[in-house]
Amino acid sequence: MFKDTRIFKLFKVIGFSIKKLGDLIKKGIQTYNSIQDIIAKKIHDMGGVQYIKKNLNVLDDFFKNHPVLKKIGGVAVAGLLLYIWLNMSFTVDLEYSMDFKDIILALSGNFSLADLFMSPSGITMLIYLATGLVAGVSVPWPGGTITQIVGGVIFSAWRLMNSGKIKIEKPSPLKLGKYPKVKIN
C-alpha cells in the first residue's frame, strides 16, 4: 500500500496516525452531512416545494378521515419507498442508508406524505434518488441487496422497538398457540 506515492504522502502528512485519519474521515462526513442539510433546507424553503407540501397535507387529511384507505395506501407508499431505496445513492452514514423505519411504518398505515417527501429529510431522500438514477454514484455497502434489506429491516425494527413506536405483547401462558400481538403507535 505504501508503494503508491499518493498514499505514502497522505500518511506522511497525517504523521502515519490511523487515529488522525479516522478523525479526518469523521470530520469530512460531518461536513458533508451539514452541507447536504443546508441544501435540503434551502430547497425545502422554495415556494414550489411549499405548494406541493400544502397539497400533500390535504391528501394526508383525506387519509386521516379514511383509515382503511390509509392502510391500503400504506402498502403503495412502502413500495414506493422501497423503490427509492433500491435506486438511490447510499451515503457513508449507515443509520441513514439502511433505515427502513419509514417503510415499516407505512406498511402499518402510519405515515404522512408531506413529512415523507417534502420535509428536509424527504428532500434529502429525493436528492439521493436523483443522484442514484442520474449519476449512479454510491457508497458500496457490503453484501448483496437481499442481505442489506434484511439487515436494514432488522436494524430499523430494533430501533422502532427501542423508541416505543412498536410494542410486542407476549401472549399469556394460559393461551398456548396464540401469537404475540404487535402494536404500532
Which residue type sits at 142? P
Query: Which residues in the chain land under pLDDT 50?
Result: none
Confidence at residue 182, expressed as pLDDT on a 0 to 100 scale:
66
Show the cell assigned to 45: 424553503
Question: Which cell goes with 98?
Answer: 439502511
Give the pLDDT score at 81: 96
Q: What is the pLDDT of residue 44?
A: 82
Cell numbers linked to 102? 419509514
State the DSSP code for 180.
Answer: P
3-state secondary structure of 103: helix
Q: What is the model's pLDDT at position 65?
A: 95
Ramachandran angles phi, psi of 93, nearest 5°: -85, 105
**Run of H or E residues at 139:** none
Cα Dmax for the chain:
71
Q: Which pLDDT belongs to residue 80? A: 96
> pLDDT of 142-155, one tens digit each?
888 899 999 999 99
pLDDT in tens, 54-94: 999 999 999 999 999 999 999 999 999 999 999 998 887 78
Question: What are the CA-CA distances from residue 51 to residues 26, 48, 108, 111, 112 (Å)?
Answer: 37, 5, 27, 20, 16
At which residue does the C-alpha cell 390535504 appear?
Answer: 58
